Amino acid sequence: MSKKTRKKSSKGSAKTPAKTPAKSPAKTPAKKSAHKTIPAKAARSGSKAPVKTPAAKAGKVVAKKSGTAAKGALTKESHKPASKSLKSKPSTAPKPDLTPIPEAAAKPDSKPGLVSGRVEGAKAPSFQLPRDGGDSVSLADYAGRKLVLFFYPRADTPGCTREAIDFTRLKDAFAESGTAVLGISADTVKAQESFRDKHQLSIPLISDEKHEMLEAYGAWGEKSMYGRTFLGILRTTVLIGKDGKIAKIWRNVRVDGHADEVLATAQGL
């Protein structure tokens, strides 16, 4: 064999093994796996819609059946008669009467037989109560005469003392006008007598411990002092005419000058 022939054969043998590894066997399985993962329909249409598997079809069938059953149940319930609505009866309670009523009608007397003395023009409530000295006094004792009743909270207190002294000072002037004067409180007879003697009072003082006369003339009610509310005597004066009817009522009396004002009213009656 010649040298040229040996050189060619050596070159050829060297090239043959070099070309073999250039052809990578990994390319072949990659192409095959790509063809296997892409479905034929999806490859042709290019759509990305999910493949309908037998399990998915079975799920849809079950869903359709359950939906049909639910519709059937609703249809059965819809055929049931609707419950009758309860009609509420209209209220038969009478509407309140908002017409204002006189105080005498709103607050009836606590004792039967007494006509309210809380409004002017009404008949004066009758009474018969003990007075200082041990005697008793009644409305009938002053029939045909004018009569002043001054209600005071408590004997021998500053305001009540000034008021009683003022009426005592004007006693003769009241008598000249045909008017008698009586003082009334809830004090005991003994307390009234001490009050009379201490201040030399000359007008009768009536003891109304049960508040019967006080309530009948509207001189007993709610009071407040130092933030405290309580029931007590409301300083009040009532002038009764000869006809036995109430001519004038003074509420929440202020002591200073009050007796003179009452006298002027009695003189003009």
The residues annotated with a catalytic role in the active site are 160
Quick count: other Cβ atoms within 10 Å of Cβ 151? 26
Residue written as tokens 């009695």?
266
Contact 167, 203 (CB under 8 A): yes
- Euclidean distance between CA atoms 176 and 267, whole angstroms: 9
Q: Which two tokens stand for residue 30?
A: 């990659």
**Structure tokens of 92?**
């038969």
Element (H, E) at 228: strand 228-233
Task: Select from 195, 129, 204 the least CA-distant residue to 162.
Answer: 195
Strands 179-185 and 246-250: unpaired
Q: Any residues with CB less than 8 A from the CB of 255 and at least 6 apart, and which? A: 159, 162, 163, 166, 235
Residues 147, 180: contact at Cβ < 8 Å? yes
The DSSP 8-state label assigned to residue 182 in this structure reads: E
